[in-house]
Amino acid sequence: MISLFSHKGTKTQRRQIFLLFVASCLCVNLFFLPGCKKEEPKVFPQDQLSIEYTVNNETIMIGDPVELVVTAYFPTNGTLGLPEIGREKDVVLLKRDWANIPREDGLTQSESRYRLTSFRLGEHLVSTGQITCVVGGETLTADFPPVTLSVISSLPEEASLEISDIKPVHKLTPRIPDWVWISLLAVSGAFLAGFIASKLWRNREKLIPTPPPRPPHLAAFEALEALRNKGLLEQGECNPFYTELSLILRTYLEGRFRLNAPDETTEEIVIELSKSPELNGAQRNILQDFMRQADMVKFAKGHPDRQTMEAAFDTTKQFVSETKYAGDAVPQIGNRKSEIGNQQLR
């Protein structure tokens, strides 16, 4: 009996515990069911303009973005108009999007999303304009949401709000060292100086006038004096004496009459000077006799005495003295034949 009763008592306790558990679950469901109930849509007047808004933050620092959502409910046959947002640095519009959300109550739901910021400290009202809706010939109006941006500074309270002056310019280290530029300038200067010097050197004859040539008779007199001082007359050296005396005369003829006398034969010289208006007959004969006498000594091995050699010297000196230029007139000496020789060649 005792064992049976104990078994029955245990079973009863289990049933009571189960019933208590079920009752607890029912209580919990009754408590949470109202929260899970589907939210019914808001009811707005059919013939009015209704406005709602949300803003994520109204206290910002300079340049921080603010998200503002403005929702308008108006008749389906209406046209919605929103005011312009933005006012210099106080309120700056960064972005704007809008969309229409379908409804079942015969109204149109328009949602406008604004992304705003501000670059000026203080309190700034976003807009003082109105939202309008034109329905047929009637205009419905509503104030724009009274959103105020409170812009605070990121600086500590004790910091000055005055703008500090700019810092001095910091000179950057040049990529190319100064010595490279100095070397390039030095090389360029040297090149320019050399170029100018070469130009001046090439044009030196134009820059520095050539002095006038020395009169041929002066050179002849000096050469004759040098020949006398050699003592060839006293030594009886006729061959070197006549050779040098002939060269002195030929050089004089080249400078005085523009002949190529040192390289011409005696016959060529005589022919060219035979038609010269600057020589008379006696001078032509003297020149012809001396030239032939010099050829006899040089080529035929003649041996004139000292008196004849002195006479040849005096005759040459006299010929130079009589045929020299008058005054200081000295023509340019060129390595070409005289006009008489040119006429002979023609």
CATH of the domain at 123: 2.60.40
Per-residue pLDDT at 291: 83
Q: At which residue do the structure tokens 């100086």 appear? A: 193
Number of domains in the chain: 2
Cβ atoms of residues 110 and 72 within 8 Å: yes
Give the pLDDT of the chain (346 residues) as one tens digit per residue: 334 334 444 667 667 777 777 777 776 566 555 554 555 667 888 888 899 999 998 899 988 999 999 999 988 888 889 999 888 889 999 999 989 888 888 788 899 999 999 999 889 999 888 999 998 888 999 999 999 999 998 877 776 667 777 888 877 777 777 788 899 999 999 999 988 888 878 776 665 666 677 888 888 898 989 988 988 888 888 888 888 888 888 888 888 888 777 788 888 887 887 777 888 888 888 888 888 888 888 777 778 888 888 888 888 888 888 888 765 444 443 333 333 333 332 3
Please tell me the distance from the alpha carbon of residue 121 to that of residue 287, in angstroms, as a whole number: 121
Per-residue pLDDT at 7: 44
Q: Is residue 247 situated within a structural domain?
A: yes
Per-residue pLDDT at 52: 92
User: Which of 151, 167, 192 is the C-terminal boundary of a domain?
Assistant: 151
The CB density around residue 68, as the number of other CB atoms within 10 Å, is: 22
Cβ atoms of residues 219 and 255 within 8 Å: yes
Q: Is residue 16 situated within a structural domain?
A: no
Residues 133 and 249 both lie in one domain? no
Residues 221 and 337 both lie in one domain? yes
Domain carrying residue 250: 216-325+333-345
Residues 223 and 341 both lie in one domain? yes
191-197 contacts at long range (C-beta below 8 A, 24 or more positions apart): none
Closest CA to 109 of 173, 41, 159, 55: 41
User: Which of 98, 126, 151 is the C-terminal boundary of a domain?
Assistant: 151
Per-residue pLDDT at 198: 84
Please tell me the distance from the alpha carbon of residue 300 to that of residue 298, in angstroms, as a whole number: 6
Residues 220 and 320 both lie in one domain? yes
Q: Is residue 73 situated within a structural domain?
A: yes
Angular region, 231: left φ>0, alpha ψ -120 to 50, beta rest: left
Per-residue pLDDT at 270: 79
Per-residue pLDDT at 93: 92
Give the predicted TM-score (pTM) of the model: 0.39
Please tell me the distance from the alpha carbon of residue 81 to that of residue 91, in angstroms, as a whole number: 20
Q: Is residue 294 situated within a structural domain?
A: yes
Cβ atoms of residues 91 and 124 within 8 Å: yes
Closest CA to 72 of 41, 49, 46, 101: 49
Residue type, 267: E
Q: Is residue 228 situated within a structural domain?
A: yes
Q: Which DSSP string corresponds to 31-55? A: HHHHHHSPPPPP---TTS-EEEEEE
Q: Is residue 116 situated within a structural domain?
A: yes
Strand-by-strand arrangement of the 66-75 sheet: 50-55, 66-75, 107-117, 92-101
Cβ atoms of residues 233 and 310 within 8 Å: yes
User: Which of 131, 151, 171 is the C-terminal boundary of a domain?
Assistant: 151
Residues 235 and 337 both lie in one domain? yes
Q: Is residue 31 situated within a structural domain?
A: no
Residues 235 and 338 both lie in one domain? yes
Please tell me the distance from the alpha carbon of residue 80 to that of residue 334, in angstroms, as a whole number: 111
Q: Is residue 240 situated within a structural domain?
A: yes
